[in-house]
Amino acid sequence: MRAGAEGTVHMVTVDDIRRVASRLPRSEEHLIRDRVKFRIGKIVYVAISRDETMMGCGFPKDEREAAIAAEPDKFVMPSVADQRFNWIEVRMAALDLGEMRELILDAWRGVVPKRVAAAYAESAAGDGV
């Protein structure tokens, strides 16, 4: 969350997620079963819950339990069906914009070719991002 101009707290929104994900090379937005999802080809790397309170994203399975144990108010185990994937669920209200961006970029890097991720990192560094 971030503080607004008048000290109000800003919860990460679908529009915030869209701003980050839509700028990534090869990323496409789709509406699948009433859920906004971002994909590279057929691989989903970010998905928003129908009620727009949770963001699921690609995340290493071997780091998932530690993340949940460290911040249980933020991270949640995915559904049983999704536990076989490199995936985690995140409460959007517990995220700040920097964390959201980092999670999305890490998930995206996990599904694009390494050369695409490297080219993006190079261009982002040149832009001062």
Q: pLDDT tens, 65-75?
A: 999 999 999 99
Element (H, E) at 87: strand 87-91
Region of 34 (left: φ > 0; alpha: ψ -120 to 50; beta: rest) is: left
* Structural domains in the chain, sorted by start: 12-115 (3.90.1150.30)
Q: pLDDT tens, 75-91?
A: 999 999 999 999 999 99
Helices 97-109 and 14-21: angle between axes, nearest 10 degrees: 40
**pTM, rounded to two decimals:** 0.88
Report the DSSP beta bridge partners of residue 55.
Answer: 48, 90
Size of the chain in residues: 129
User: What is the model's pLDDT at position 108?
Assistant: 98
